[in-house]
Structure 1
Amino acid sequence: METYLEVRQHHDLARDLLTAAGLPGADADAAADVVGYADRHGYPTHGLKALVNMYVPWLRGGRVDPAARPRLIARNGAVSVLDGADGLGVVVMTRATDLAADTARRLGVGVVAVRRSSHFGAAGFYTHRLAHGGLAGIAMTNCGAQGVIPPLGGARRLLGTNPLSASVPADDRPPFVLDMSTTVVATGRVKAALQAGEDVPEGWLIGPDGSDVTDPAAYFRAEADVPWLGGRLATGGAKGYGLGLLVDLLCGPFAGAAFGPRRAALTETEPAADRDVGHLVIALSPAAFGDPDTILGETGELLGTVSACPPAAYARDVTYPGAPEAARAAAAERKGIPLSPDVAEAVASLARELGVPVPGELCPAEGGADGGEEREAVDGTAAGAADGTVRR
């Protein structure tokens, strides 16, 4: 059964865990906002699960620097470059997003490229933040030097899933917020199926001969790969592949960060860690394009008209990216944020280990694991390991 935490309770727990792992107070608050957004809006792999499996182990193990102070290293008009100083990506990208927003309000557009960062959580958090500030936005990230997906038709993993998000604010309805990987599915969902002992649907994995593979373990044995958005070439795979390349081009060379398709990657025998991850965020002010009230009214009309479209026989209703997530977040505000049993147990164990008070909701009457025992991460690997590798 799922465990529910109140929104404030969830935030405070995440903040306290991050603070106990060495992150300063303001940064821990910012990171807890990103973690809470993910769990509230239906992206649980990037919520407390990511905190347990990645952020806290990285902070404690030296993979990221808890005292890092992102530094502005270049500014040219509306374009800035931020050095993340090997800090926690959710903190670094929040600062980059706010810098882009401030620039857009002054100049109409703000662009910030980020280098030397790490996993930045749910991409939608940053564009959602812009939308609720009245701005349109685009955010994206590569996976540093790590390769988890081969190029279309390739036999060697050179790119990341390279997620991106885009948002447009509206007048009186949830903003448009698109949050997507450039692959058919994020590799985290393949891992979740493996942990649950379930097959994956056809189309999620393809073998070396191009056939469908449904055993999720095949991906982790490098016997199958996740295809690009659109699937095979005949069904539009070149579109997802092109988007994935675009993200690496902008978040790698343009940002001055690492990128997967390096010449050395063609012959490396060990997988590269996702260090020196690059991000890019673009903010656009409606006021630079015309009367902002008119623009936001028309975006609201557009989204409202789409939502009012009569559904096809096979569908229940018509919606748009951002609206279902907003409904989940509203439900979480009323009922609490749901946590799966494995996440709840791992969070409670981590809290005991770090000396953070454990919410009663995470302590069932029958008791849980002794906080002094060796803790296992949600994904089944030792949570204290900090080798810098994460599959997206």
Structure 2
Amino acid sequence: MTMQAADVRAYDHQALVAFSVETLAAAGLPEAQARIAAAGLAYADLHGFDSHGAINLARIYLPKVHDGAIARDGVPGVVRAQGATVRIAGRRAIGFVSAAFAMDQACRLARAHGIGCAAVDGLTHSGSMGFYVKTAVDDGLIGLALINLGSQALVPAPGSTTPLVGTNVVAAGVPAGDLPPFLLDMSTAAVSTGRVRLAARRDEPIPAGWLADAEGRDVTDPRALDAGTAFLLPLGGQASGYKGLGLALLCDLLCAALSGAAAGPVGATASDENIGLVLIAIDPKALRSMDAFREAVDQILSAVLAVDTTDPDTPVVYPGYREAMTARHRQTHGIPLDGATVASLVEAGERVGVAFPAAR
């Protein structure tokens, strides 16, 4: 049976943050690292990226801490710096910490040079890339992020059924004036594996165009992915998947070749070992006044919001607008979590002696 609305209850996002901090700290992470990771999970939940929020605390992060894939004593550090660039070793720290450190370095360099670039290897799962580009945006900078899945290959090239690249991600953030900022956070596959697995967890069908079987036929049962009877399609699907493949390869070329991380096309594995990340920050003030920049951004984004629509109930918006509205609503009304997700979080908390918060 498909999940019904009655299965969903709302939880205060600050209570979820506190729960995430306590469970990660109880599992052995330093509290400062646990707080950064909890903030990243909260960002995803608040902005509607449900597949990358609290659900992954029990599904990904706590298990990886327990089995050592995430190093409890891992601390990222700079291993090479030159001009406006820096290379960072992630050292298998929880990915939120390494990626946040790298974006801080890129922003610092951008304020000094107008642009800053950080490349990271040894990264572990880092959540939503929007969390990091928004850090730059909140500092009045443009943020760009590219991340691969390390050695993990999940998506075949068009015309093949052999996994070649990961569900690599491209993200960008641009500060605006009076409008919510532009925030793009997209997989180079048709969809992230997290969204497919979330649909499977909720017993919901998925749209045609996300998965295909060995004969190239669309598959709408999300369970087929982990059953091995279907594979993810690249962004662009059956007809234009070379576009998604090109973007995925760009992520591999930059994230692996610049940092020393692994890449799916070379020695592909089933797990995401040695993930690579490239973060770029740009200071608009290096090129023109900030007021003029923000005014130009607002003009462009306002033009998008003003276009006509074939469905009055579904207005045209730009990346970041709907997410900002979702965050505003969820800050007031809470984070919706389904019963299966809550049960997994309750169980994860019980293992380390932390109680899950009550619903609102």
TM-score, reference length from structure 2? 0.94
| Match in the other structure for 1:350 | 348
1:1-392 matches, cutoff 5 A:
1-233=7-239, 236-262=240-266, 264-265=267-268, 271-313=269-311, 316-361=314-359
Q: Is the 8 A contact 2:156 2:234 kept in 1?
A: no
Task: Specify the SS of the correspondent of 1:360.
Answer: coil
Output the CA distance in 2 between the equivalents of 1:196 and 1:6. Answer: 21
Query: AA paired with 1:227?
Result: L
Deviation (angstroms), 1:315:
6.1
Percent identity of paired positions between Structure 1 and Structure 2 = 37
Q: Is the 8 A contact 1:258 1:275 kept in 2?
A: yes
Deviation (angstroms), 1:97:
0.8
Output the CA distance in 2 between the equivalents of 1:3 and 1:198. Answer: 18
Output the CA distance in 2 between the equivalents of 1:346 and 1:218. Answer: 22
Deviation (angstroms), 1:72:
0.3
Deviation (angstroms), 1:130:
1.1
After superposition, the Cα gap between the structure-2 partners of 1:111 and 1:237, relative to the gap in structure 1 and judged at 3 Å, is same
Task: Specify the SS of the correspondent of 1:232.
Answer: helix
Output the CA distance in 2 between the equivalents of 1:213 and 1:33. Answer: 35
Output the CA distance in 1 between the equivalents of 2:289 and 2:349. Answer: 50
Task: Specify the SS of the correspondent of 2:276.
Answer: strand
TM-score, reference length from structure 1? 0.86
Query: AA paired with 2:249?
Result: L
Output the CA distance in 1 between the equivalents of 2:356 and 2:241. Answer: 46
Gaps of 5+ in 2: 1-6
Deviation (angstroms), 1:66:
1.6
Output the CA distance in 2 between the equivalents of 1:63 and 1:125. Answer: 22
After superposition, the Cα gap between the structure-2 partners of 1:15 and 1:82, relative to the gap in structure 1 and judged at 3 Å, is same
Output the CA distance in 1 between the equivalents of 2:32 and 2:166. Answer: 30
Output the CA distance in 2 between the equivalents of 1:160 and 1:343. Answer: 25
Flag the structure with higher strand content.
2
After superposition, the Cα gap between the structure-2 partners of 1:345 and 1:221, relative to the gap in structure 1 and judged at 3 Å, is closer
Q: Which runs of 4+ in 1 moved over 4 A?
A: none
Gaps of 5+ in 1: 266-270, 363-392
Output the CA distance in 1 between the equivalents of 2:215 and 2:336. Answer: 40
Task: Specify the SS of the correspondent of 2:237.
Answer: coil
Deviation (angstroms), 1:142:
0.7
Output the CA distance in 2 between the equivalents of 1:194 and 1:187. Answer: 11
Output the CA distance in 1 between the equivalents of 2:157 and 2:199. Answer: 24
Q: Is the 8 A contact 1:3 1:344 kept in 2?
A: no
After superposition, the Cα gap between the structure-2 partners of 1:79 and 1:312, relative to the gap in structure 1 and judged at 3 Å, is same
Output the CA distance in 2 between the equivalents of 1:49 and 1:161. Answer: 19
Deviation (angstroms), 1:216:
2.8
Query: AA paired with 2:248?
Result: G
| Match in the other structure for 1:369 | none
Deviation (angstroms), 1:161:
0.6
Q: Is the 8 A contact 2:170 2:188 kept in 1?
A: yes
Deviation (angstroms), 1:314:
7.2
Task: Specify the SS of the correspondent of 1:26.
Answer: helix
- 1:279-313 CA distances to partner (integer Å, 9 max, x unpaired)? 11111111111111110111012112211222235
Deviation (angstroms), 1:45:
1.5
| Match in the other structure for 1:373 | none
Q: Is the 8 A contact 2:11 2:358 kept in 1?
A: no
More deviation, 297-306/28-37 = 297-306
Output the CA distance in 1 between the equivalents of 2:294 and 2:15. Answer: 34
Query: AA paired with 1:316?
Result: T
Query: AA paired with 2:125?
Result: H
Instruction: Give the root-mean-square deviation of aligned CA atoms.
Output: 1.6
Query: AA paired with 1:228?
Result: P
- 1:138-160 CA distances to partner (integer Å, 9 max, x unpaired)? 11211111111112222311210
Output the CA distance in 2 between the equivalents of 1:154 and 1:316. Answer: 36
Task: Specify the SS of the correspondent of 2:265.
Answer: coil
Q: Is the 8 A contact 1:19 1:25 kept in 2?
A: yes
Task: Specify the SS of the correspondent of 1:361.
Answer: coil
Output the CA distance in 2 between the equivalents of 1:225 and 1:107. Answer: 43
Output the CA distance in 1 between the equivalents of 2:200 and 2:359. Answer: 27
Output the CA distance in 2 between the equivalents of 1:361 and 1:315. Answer: 30
Query: AA paired with 2:52?
Result: H
Output the CA distance in 1 between the equivalents of 2:311 and 2:20. Answer: 43
Aligned residues: 354
